[in-house]
């Protein structure tokens, strides 16, 4: 009889399991990943090629191979990007200077076995740096 009265007291002293029971110190979001996602308008590039890079064939081939291992019918977008901060004429000049390298990157992707219809070449004014970005879809 004594145990029947003691059981509600013991149960009242226990707390129900909650989120803190299983993860007392939750992992915070990585600010670098959040900043990268916002910097590229919600898309994170597969690779970034700075202007003046001459030897990009090996890293491009490796990235294309890894992307196609995950998704064999992957589509690639090679995008030249320049900030518009100093005016549209300066951005257009920088984009024109990147066009030959971007075309060479697109040709390298096609040379790595991707069908030409799965590779697009674009240009945009956004971000803070002048780069060639390779996106995969």
Alpha-carbon gap, residue 78 to 18, rounded angstroms: 47
Asked if residue 48 lies in contact with residue 133, where contact means CB atoms within 8 angstroms, the answer is: yes
Backbone dihedral angles phi then psi of residue 47, each to the nearest 5 degrees: -155, 155
10 Å CB burial of residue 128 (0-12, 13-18, 19+) is exposed
Question: In the chain, what are the domains?
Answer: 42-137 (3.30.1330.60)
DSSP states of 22-70 as a string? H-SSPPPP-HHHHHHHHHTTT---SEEE-TT----HHHHHHHHHHHHHH
Least confident of 12-21, 32-41, 88-97, 112-121: 32-41
Residue 27: per-residue pLDDT: 65
Beta bridge partners of 120: 77
Alpha-carbon gap, residue 99 to 132, rounded angstroms: 9
Question: pLDDT tens digits for 36-77?
Answer: 555 556 677 889 998 888 888 999 999 999 999 999 999 999
Better-predicted residue by pLDDT, 128 or 58: 58
Q: Tell me: pLDDT of 107 over 80.
A: yes
């Amino acid at each position: 009889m004594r145990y029947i009265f003691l059981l509600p007291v013991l149960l009242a002293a226990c707390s129900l399991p909650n989120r803190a029971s299983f993860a007392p110190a939750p992992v915070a979001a990585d600010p670098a990943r959040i900043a990268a996602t916002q910097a590229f308008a919600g898309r994170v590039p597969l690779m970034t090629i700075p202007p003046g890079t001459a030897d990009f064939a090996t890293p491009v081939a490796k990235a294309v191979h890894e992307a196609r291992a995950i998704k064999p019918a992957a589509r690639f977008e090679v995008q030249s990007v320049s900030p518009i901060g100093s005016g549209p004429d300066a951005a257009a000049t920088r984009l024109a200077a990147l066009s030959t390298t971007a075309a060479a990157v697109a040709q390298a992707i096609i040379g790595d076995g991707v069908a030409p219809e799965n590779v697009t070449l674009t240009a945009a004014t956004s971000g803070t740096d002048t780069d060639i970005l390779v996106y995969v879809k």
